[in-house]
Chains A and B, each alone.
Chain A
Amino acid sequence: MAAVIEVRDVSTTLGGHKIHRGLSLSVARGEVVALIGGSGTGKSVLLREIIGLLQPQAGRIELFGQSVLDVTPEQMNVLRRRFGVLFQDGALFSSLSVEDNVATPLFEHTDLPRGTCRQLARLKLALAGLPPDAAQKRPSELSGGMRKRVALARALALDPELLFLDEPTSGLDPISARAFDALIRLLADSLGLTVFLVTHDLDTLFSIIDRVIVLSDGRVLGSGTVAELKHIDDPWLNDYFAARAPDGETLHGN
């Protein structure tokens, strides 16, 4: 399978700090991959580099086999249509209604009549699990969980092949968080999406992730299923998995 995301030897220095030191990873089509790592290991920075918002000092980043570091703005826009991004705080347009927030990518990038765009937006909202009466509200009238769902609906508006999620379940209650996980997996399976997410949520890792990539000290410490990662002896990783004790998942089980 062709790699959808290809990161090679990326080095980043921000404000005098070396964040990435020759980091490499790749994600294949249809995979649901989580990026984890302690605070300040540059997860979000890497995500911003992959989607072309930041430039690393050295290295190569490719999306769908095309480098994002030396493309023309027009090529980048073509590329942008093929992926959707869910920002951590939703980043909804506060002066537009929920429906228009989701319809905005359709307004801008397709020739569909506005009415059809709005209907497709409502389809996306329904897929993201929002009730129909939310469509006319303003983002400021919604709860945090609902805003996340609206943001997911907007990321899905153009039916991208690749979805980037920055902390999709942070700030959600456990029930909403699990429902959100299930939704992402359902969409990934039924729409054949590739999903790349940054998360701290262990339950997400255990439930819907095909592969986990661990960042540490500016490099990829390990990559594999949760069970495989448990065999890596790293203080942070041990603490991380130990944090989920209550429901019987033991650290060195199996």
Chain B
Amino acid sequence: MTEARARFDDSQGALIASGDWQADSVAALPDLAGKQVRILDGTGVTQLDTNGAWLLLAAARPQAGDPLPELRAFQPQHLDVLNLVAQHRAATAVQSGPRQAGVLELMGRSTLSAWMHVIGLTDFVGRLFLTLAVLIVRPRDWRWREFGAQMNAVFAGAIPIVVGMLFLLGVVFAYLLGDQAQQYGANIFVVDGIMLAVLREVSPVIVAVLVAGRTGAAITAQLGTMKVTEEIDAITTLGLSPLTVLVIPRMMALLIAMPMLVFIGDIAGLAGGMLVAQQQLDISAHMFIDRLVDVIQLKTLVVGLGKAPVFAIFIALIACRMGLSVTRDARSVGANTTSTVVQSLVAIIILNAIFAVTFVRLGI
């Protein structure tokens, strides 16, 4: 390879190039500011590709519309390349680059997109209810197989992590409560505390967070990928409704699996507390269970389990809606999956706060 060179000959007004001209040769161009190039001379040019040709032409004629300089002493194949590039040069003159949006425009756009999101969600919920109504009238259309597969993924697959997390949280709660209670000799009340905390708040919320991160993200990614590969369109053209085939089974699976997972979490949390009570507070397993039976109220259990289906509906709604609103590019799948998890977590926290205030007001 020969290095690309170019010099400007003032007497003839000629830009004389030599060597191999390609994209990297831009550094070889002399400063032509204020100079008029009349002739482009290619005596020593050994190789010329389209990138090199464009650089030479752009240097000689900064305005794409101007007539070409005289081309001198180029080899025939290089002349072809130059002519080909010159022919298409006008297209490269289109000035573009992403326009910077102002603050007002950004605010307007994000408000609009938030509003469209609300409308889209409302529309989605409406359609979902319609589909449910149809399914109640015609139960034969239920997708049992898909429902079973989803139950397996949502419920069975989540049991180990739910048990592990809640057990450890039970341990932590018992430690902290026990530390305080011991100072007043009120060891046995630790049982009351753990029971209340785990059953009413910790288990429902932690299970919901786990399901949102685990199942919600999976649903959005799966439906989104199906959207990208046009599988959803294929389902529609086969005369099936994606809502019946995909969304309802997932929603039902979540609706049924979540309370069961919360119940399993309750037991795991209490078991964790019991272990610490035994080791640290000298409360034997027997005493722990006796006390538990004395203080446990049905409403505590029901309040905790009752939150689960509500969380489940919101997670399923958000996940399915975000999955189906994926557009046909790779980034959109990632963005919508992230959005599902964030929206679900926010929804869980807000719903839980609403529950807490409502229950206190109602004296439950």
Contact = CB atoms under 8 A, between A and B. Distances in A.
- Our verdict on whether A and B bind, yes or no, reads yes
Interface string A104-136: 001000111001101110111111000010011
Contact of B23 (A112, A135, A136): A112
A154 to B, nearest CB: 14
A159 B49 contact: yes
B97 interface: yes
A60 interface: no
A139 B50 CA distance: 24
Given A156-B50, A191-B50, A192-B77, A123 B92 contact: yes
Contacts of B89: 123
B59 to A, nearest CB: 11
B97 A120 contact: no
Interface in B30-74: 49-52, 54-55, 58
B158 interface: no
The secondary structure that dominates the B interface is helix
A123 B23 contact: no
A99 B96 contact: yes
A110 B23 contact: yes
A207 B50 CA distance: 24
Contact of A120 (B54, B77, B328, B330): B54
B22 A159 contact: yes
A119 B22 CA distance: 14
B88 interface: yes
Contact of B92 (A126, A156, A159): A126
Given A122-B91, A123-B54, A125-B91, A138 B23 contact: no
B327 interface: yes
B85 interface: yes
A111 B92 contact: no
Of the candidates B22, B26, B51, B327, the one having the most CB atoms from chain A within 10 angstroms of its own CB is B51
A214 interface: no
Contacts of B179: none
Given A123-B92, A126-B91, A140 B328 contact: yes
A190 B80 contact: yes
For A120, A125, A136, the residue with the greatest tally of chain B CB atoms inside 10 Å of its CB is A120
B329 interface: yes
A159 B51 contact: yes
A191 B27 CA distance: 23
A120 B331 contact: no
B221 to A, nearest CB: 16
Nearest to A100: B98
B1 to A, nearest CB: 12
Interface residues of B, number: 30
B329 A119 contact: no
A215 B3 CA distance: 42
Interface in B323-364: 327-331
B50 A159 contact: yes
Interface string B17-28: 000001110110
B84 interface: yes
Contacts of A118: 96-97
A136 B50 contact: no
B328 A94 contact: yes
Contacts of B206: none
A146 to B, nearest CB: 15
Contacts of A99: 96
A233 to B, nearest CB: 40
Among the interface residues A99, A132, A139, which one has the most CB atoms of the partner chain B within 10 A?
A: A132
Contacts of A186: 84
Interface string B68-105: 00000000010011001100110111101100000000
A135 B93 CA distance: 12
Contact of B84 (A95, A125, A132, A190): A190
Nearest to A135: B96
B77 A122 contact: no
B88 A123 contact: yes
A140 B97 contact: no
Nearest to A97: B98
Contacts of B88: 123, 126-127
B94 A120 contact: no
Given A95-B330, A123-B54, A135 B26 contact: no
B94 A132 contact: yes
Nearest to A136: B96
Contacts of B330: 93-95
A156 to B, nearest CB: 7
Nearest to A116: B26
Contacts of A120: 23, 51, 54, 92
A191 B81 contact: yes
B6 to A, nearest CB: 16
A115 B93 CA distance: 11
A126 B49 CA distance: 15
Nearest to A92: B329
A158 interface: yes
Nearest to A105: B23
Interface string A171-193: 00000000000000010011110
12 contacts: A94-B328, A94-B329, A95-B329, A95-B331, A112-B23, A112-B24, A118-B96, A119-B93, A123-B92, A140-B327, A186-B84, A189-B80
Interface of B: 22-24, 26-27, 49-52, 54-55, 58, 77, 80-81, 84-85, 88-89, 91-94, 96-97, 327-331
Given A126-B91, A156-B50, 17 more contacts: A94-B328, A95-B329, A95-B331, A111-B27, A122-B94, A123-B89, A123-B92, A125-B91, A126-B88, A127-B84, A132-B94, A138-B329, A140-B327, A159-B22, A186-B84, A189-B80, A190-B80
